[in-house]
Structure 1
Amino acid sequence: MKAWIGRILWKPRIRLRQAGRFAPLGALLLLAGCANLEYYAQSVAGHSALLQAARPLDQVLADPSSTDDLRTRLRYARSARRYASEVLGLPDNGSYTEYADVERPYVVWNVFATPELSLRLKPSCFLVVGCIDYRGYYREEAARAQARDLREQGWDVHVGGVPAYSTLGWYRDPLVNTFIRLPPGEVARLVFHELTHQAVYAKNDTAFNESLATAVEQLGVERWLREPENAALRPAYEIYAQRRADFLALLRDTRRQLLEAYGEAGTRAKPAPATPLPEELDPAEIARLRERKAAIIAGLRQRYEALKRDQWGGYGGYDGWFAQPLNNAHFAAIGTYQQWVPALLALARQCGSCRDGSLGPFLAQARELARLPHAERQRRLRELDQRAQGPRL
């Protein structure tokens, strides 16, 4: 077994300067229980391959085989990376100073699962990072296989491709081909988002971590686009961002309707779901809730078509998302990234010293929230949410 692990971690083509990066990954694999061994192994192999593919930005920019378009995008990304540390107060380290082409459309695929008639996500617990509301896979077929197993058990499941992720500062996370082709403002948004995870992290609280990163990305991009050298990017990005905001507003409203249908709106967090369908529901109630769920999702599709027709001039950039069968897991995943954004933006607005562009004081306040016990952090966030101006989830 150890020899097999060694072949994953110490392939001859790994550069010497990278070799020390993988020792903690190997330790995690050796500590994993048998049930999770295969999962940890794919995590080790996948992240190792990503780090092996990474090259310093200067090297990629000087490479004759790099296209002019790639060079332009990498320069914008490098500008955003510098801005993140020098102005916003995000970590100043080696992350996003390298570029990797992993030759696939996403760097990982996340698997989300919920009960059939609830928006409570099924958690997965791991060494070091604690419990999170999804499982990530470096191979799409592995994610799809996990999704099939969960569906056969009766869970609602969503598999989402992810263009970027953070190792919380343990490793030098690179820029990746999976998101460098996005508009430069969107690349900056992702860099700010992932660096936030390195700055502040609350164990076992995915909604807080992702909502904070989403709030910081919004504040960061607004500031970055005000820089004179980025003025030309602003008009196109504003159109892109408005369409994204319209799309998310539809999903947030659909999530609200589903929460109300399931009797979960405004309730405090319940224990993690143990089964895909609660035993206490009688057949008539199950039938009623299934019918209501189908009607809410059908209504979402109708509103999306109206939005495209009436406001977007026929733009169909989200048609692929709506082409898939939709279920609770899709809307629960959206909640993970959006639940506390209004509350945290309200906290940021209270930060007078943040007006010079730096988010350092706001991040310090968020760090204090992260240190609190989970129940107290939820209480503080609910208080902020009540005062927040913006959409309610």
Structure 2
Amino acid sequence: MSSSTLDQAENKSWFVVALFAFAAFIFNTTEFVPIGLLPSIAQSLNVPESQTGLLMTIYAWAVTILSIPLTLAVGTMERKKLLISLFIIFIIAHIFSALAWSYNVLTMSRLLIACAHAIFWSISIPLAMRLAPNGHRAKALAFIVTGSSLATVLGVPLGTAIGQHFGWRITFYLIAAIAALVMLLLIKKLPHSPSQNAGDLKSLPQLIKRATLMQAFLLTALTITGYFTAYTYITPYLREIGGFGDRFVIVVLFVMGIAGILGSILFTRLIRKTVVHTYTIGASLLLACLLCLEYAQSYAWTMLLVALGWGIAITLIAMSLQSKVLEAAADAADLATAIYSGTFNIGIGGGAFVGSLVLDHLGVLYTAHVGAAFVSAALLFFLLVTRRIWVINKSVSQ
């Protein structure tokens, strides 16, 4: 095969990986955009902000419960057909979200989106890494995580700004429209992709016996709970504690997202050059940001500095744990990713729930303090227990 033909094939592969990153952008945007729209949704549907925050919990826990059974149910289904079906469900559910006339209707539509989300995250990363050019699996993972980070760079801030100026319903209509565009591109560009190494019900006992995996899942649940205890309520935190306006909230979300992209670049370098595991760096940085959050409210520049560190930290954490899961379960990648997605969403839902309790009983100031306690527990467990088991210098095969 000529070099020009090889280049064309590689470019096509990267375009497909980029489509997966764009799809990740869409799915993460819709999961997290309620964070910036909590006050608007609460006012529109006449419910307390703490109850609106539970939309995050309900969505995340639905993904947790459904990830494994739905992934097993579609385990043998051809991946292109499956992805298109997921996008059709995703689009229809967003139209219902935009039309929601009550909190219950909005919740039901979000549950339908969560079903599509549960399957998407179970198959997207293994499939994208499979379709990437040879020798670039880690870079493909970085692409997907960058797409996820762009959800906070562009998706959440723009969704928040649109919701504040034109109404939160318009945000959901636009997400549906962008998802339709991504679906059309997938129809045209994604090759026929049979299911491979998806794992089945017989794989579960084998995965459960792997200490590396189980500890990665535990660390995910603890760390992400701490992160979302604070992050879910960042809008009221900045308003009430910092006295900042809506525009600055959007700037903070934007900086966090930009930092996420920087974090993905940093990860690809750290994972090759340092013996200190990237999880240690990310969790330590996140803990520092949460502990400093209250004191950073005095000045805009200090808050932006914390937001920068915050975004880098969560990206290092997520990529570190995801890469370890894929390394430890290459023989059942879809199923292992489904469990990882489920535990990640346990953290999202748990953090939103814990944060709502803190908001109601202690006040928004203490969301960061409680979040820091969860991250401290996770970091301590990693340093005392997990670090002995994980092979530090081993990463996803390049």
Please indicate, yes or no, whether the TM-score normalized by the shorter chain is above 0.5.
Answer: no
Q: Choose between structure 1 and 2 for higher RCO, CA contacts under 8 A separated by at least 6 residues.
A: 2
TM-score range, shorter chain: under 0.3
TM-score, structure 2 normalization = 0.26
Structure with more helix by fraction: 2
TM-score, structure 1 normalization = 0.26
Structure with more strand by fraction: 1
